[in-house]
Amino acid sequence: MRRENYSIDGKAGETTGWGISNFLPILDESNKRIKCETILVDKDGPHEEEAKLLAKHINKLKEEKNCKKIHILGVSKGGCIVTATLKYLRDSNLNKLNVIAYQAPFLGTIFASPRLLYKKLDELVGSISDSLLKRLIPSLQKIRPKTKKENQSNNLLKALKTIHWNVFSQSHMDYDISIVDKKGVPTKHLNRYDRNFLASMFNEETLARLKQVNFTNITTNCSEKTLTRALETRNINAIMLYLSSKTIFKGKISDGMVDEKSSKYIEEICDKNEIKISKTKIPNGHHDIASDINIINQVMKENVLKNEPKVHDSR
């Protein structure tokens, strides 16, 4: 499932593709008969409403006689949405449903919380030396040297916050997975935040459905090998996520955007409620699955293709 930004204030927006083209060759080269669908869900809507729309689509697919099994791969916040979707599915459609969540922020992420993230950046940049600041942002090399360290720090802070704010959706797409309740959401944007989404993620209905479906929770973490492979393949996203893991999440295991406690929370909940789900950890990974063909291969081959029967050629 990929939620595209196809509706912004009533206007057609952009569609990124999210690296879907990297997944398709794996399906094409296999001896399985799998139809791949991209499901568009408006990012401006509350995640709970998106879960209802996804459930409606799945219920419709299961009515087709040729549909034997449905695999749902929910990456990042998509993993939270597919989990929330379970309680809206018909009981008859839970059979043969294969749900995969990759690095879902079940307890939220600081990257969805501008007020908390920017405070963290203030603390982080304030501890960086002036010479290092110049190496971090090439544009600072052109700035005439200042007498006060704070001036250089402010340039870096402004750049980092601007990048985040421009990439950030400033809507339910991110705010609904804001960490530490509404403290991380700018006051003027509280109307775009559903504080009940994560809080009610694992209610009785969802727990009951988790017992009935095949659910796999995939987690990963940044490591020195992550950086080495990222440098070898010139994967800028992976490099940035590694740096984030070492700075923003200093002292915690993370994939550069979601910490391990958050991504493994569903495993903790299921253990407490004696619910069996599959747990997989991919070592030396990062959050941006779409930019790493090795991770894509592992996720697809071990969690999708192996659960599909071979298609025999009858010619």
pLDDT digits (tens, 9 = 90+) for 65-87: 778 888 899 999 999 999 999 99
Are 262 and 109 a contacting pair, CB within 8 Å? yes
Q: Which two tokens stand for residue 17?
A: 């593709």
pLDDT (mean) for 182-208: 92
pLDDT per position as a tens digit, 140-176: 445 445 545 445 567 767 888 888 888 888 888 899 9
| Ranges of each domain in the chain | 20-106+202-240+256-307, 110-200
pLDDT, tens digit (0-9, with 9 covering 90-100), for 118-148: 999 888 876 665 555 555 555 444 544 554 5
Q: Which CATH number fits domain 20-106+202-240+256-307: 3.40.50, 3.30.1450, 3.30.160, 1.10.260?
A: 3.40.50
Answer for the pair 270, 209: CB distance below 8 angstroms, yes or no: no
The residue behind tokens 């070592």 is: 283
Q: Residue 15: left (phi > 0), alpha (psi -120 to 50), or beta?
A: beta
Q: What is the pLDDT of residues 224-270, one digit of tens each?
A: 999 999 999 999 999 999 999 999 998 899 999 999 999 999 999 99
Structural contact between residues 252 and 191, judged by C-beta atoms closer than 8 angstroms? no
> pLDDT above 70 covers what percent of the chain?
80
Residue 30: its pLDDT value, please? 78
Residues with Cβ within 8 Å of 313's Cβ and at least 6 positions away in sequence, in order, are none
32: left (phi over 0), alpha (psi -120 to 50) or beta: beta
- Cross-strand partners of 280: 218
Backbone φ and ψ for 128, nearest 5 degrees, come out as -90, 140
Q: What angle do CA 220, 106, 216 make, to 5 degrees?
A: 55
Distances (CA, A) of 3 to 75, 161, 169, 279: 10, 24, 12, 25
What pLDDT shows up at residue 105?
97
Residue 195 CA to its chain's centroid (Å): 19
Residue 282 pairs in a beta bridge with 220
Residues 6+ apart with CB under 8 A from 261: 107, 252
The one-letter amino acid code at 287 reads H
